[in-house]
A and B are shown apart, each in its own frame.
Chain A
């Protein structure tokens, strides 16, 4: 099985904090699989996910230690923690996309929301842009709903549609890895179902890591699950194994809802 990313002996300390928030995380992310991150609130799921595209670097003073290896299709690895130049980080974020908890459409048209990242990546040709926008919207299962209103503001879409637009926006850049931070926690059950279905379809093309508080969601969409607690990775394994027969007592207690 191919690796998409590998986190080794990873420590993360927020600016100004005395103790690290993540304390020695070791875990793989397998290519074309969905990996779920679960654990009680405040255990560090978002912190870990946000390290994988170094979005923490938007704010000054945060500290990373250890290694995070990103593999390309040929199996060549690069330690993303060694990046320091702005172009290296931009390249990283084009390879590793991110979807946030709340939909975050930009205050521009539906078309421009998708085309924005493509234009940043240097694609200027009108027909190529049109093609990539259409493909991304189809890929995120929202094309039929928006194809007649591409020029209208994205702010007029429903919450669920906005979130699929954000997924389309990320997919348009053809990332290798997509990071989802509780992407359905602000959505109704029907929109949630649509997103879950989308995640399952997307893994043909791209590797996915998803943070979720919803145990059913983790078991429905993921192939692998990582359980975190107080900044430590307690257990990582195949999702069936984690849910049916966890090795650690803590994992079992969390999954059966005894705390969290």
Chain B
């Protein structure tokens, strides 16, 4: 009796998740259909103008710039975050003494829990101007956005990778040491292959977070609809575009924004599916 009730309620919950997912997709599609009809897919994602027509009616809307802004800022973030996060994870598991592990580990977890707006403010007032002094260009730029995003996901990625690395059995590592492996060889040949799925999972989840991040990026990317000819110039990303323009958008622009949201949804959905793929394979 209890068993059946339990099964029924968990099935309902699982079904609800699917319904919500389909519902979100349906709503996005419904509101985006005018823009989809007017601009098509290829045309929309290869057009770099975002102009409202006369009297706030109609206009030409293309997603190229925010799509590039999102992909590039996320790409920079990952290029920056992956090596550092891996270094931290290896340090925490293989190199730090027991006394150091706990405080540094807790600090990493705390950093992972800081609201993203705080990273954004730090980037706006301190980190962006510093980058400008170093590399020239503008203080709010694609580079600043990418690096702030990278710094934001490092603790998250490091903490999950550390947990994955910690599942490597001690005897397996010891066997490699006992054959004359160096610490570096043990990390490269035993630990990474063993913890591979968890580590890749941490990267894909971080990627998903970076793709959808709004607050931190809104502060530092500049928010201008402009094609960035160098990394130190400002541009815009999909979530920032949505947050900035929603309030005063006309009908077609609103529809184009829902189209943008649909594309972001698609990009995130694909990355999470990849993450799922690795986690599922891990459980066999």
Binding site for B on A (CB under 8 A): 15-16, 53, 55, 58, 60-61, 86, 90-91, 93-94, 97-98, 100-102, 104, 106-108, 116-117, 120-121, 166, 169-170, 173
Pair A16/B98 contact, Cβ less than 8 Å: yes
Pair B190/A106 contact, Cβ less than 8 Å: yes
Binding site for A on B (CB under 8 A): 97-98, 169, 171-183, 185, 189-190, 193-194
Pair B174/A100 contact, Cβ less than 8 Å: yes
Pair B179/A93 contact, Cβ less than 8 Å: yes
Knowing A102-B171, A104-B171, A106-B172, the reply to whether A97 touches B178 (Cβ < 8 A) is yes
Pair B174/A117 contact, Cβ less than 8 Å: no
B interface, by DSSP: helix, strand, loop or mixed? helix
Pair A97/B177 contact, Cβ less than 8 Å: no
When A and B form their complex, what is the total count of cross-chain residue pairs whose Cβ atoms lie within 8 Å?
66
Knowing A104-B172, A107-B193, the reply to whether A55 touches B178 (Cβ < 8 A) is yes
Nearest residue (CB) in A for B169 is A104
Identify which of B97, B175, B180 contacts A90 (C-beta below 8 A). B180
Identify which of B169, B173, B179, B182 contacts A117 (C-beta below 8 A). B179
**In the complex, how many angstroms separate the beta carbon of B160 from the nearest chain A beta carbon?**
20
B189: chain A residues at CB < 8 Å are 106, 116
Complex Cα–Cα for A40 and B186 (A) = 33
Pair B177/A55 contact, Cβ less than 8 Å: yes
29 pairs across A/B with beta carbons < 8 Å?
A16-B98, A55-B174, A55-B177, A58-B173, A58-B177, A60-B97, A61-B98, A90-B181, A91-B180, A93-B178, A93-B179, A94-B179, A94-B180, A97-B178, A98-B174, A98-B178, A101-B171, A104-B169, A104-B172, A106-B176, A106-B189, A106-B190, A116-B176, A117-B179, A120-B179, A121-B180, A169-B179, A173-B179, A173-B180
Pair A100/B175 contact, Cβ less than 8 Å: yes
B98: chain A residues at CB < 8 Å are 15-16, 60-61
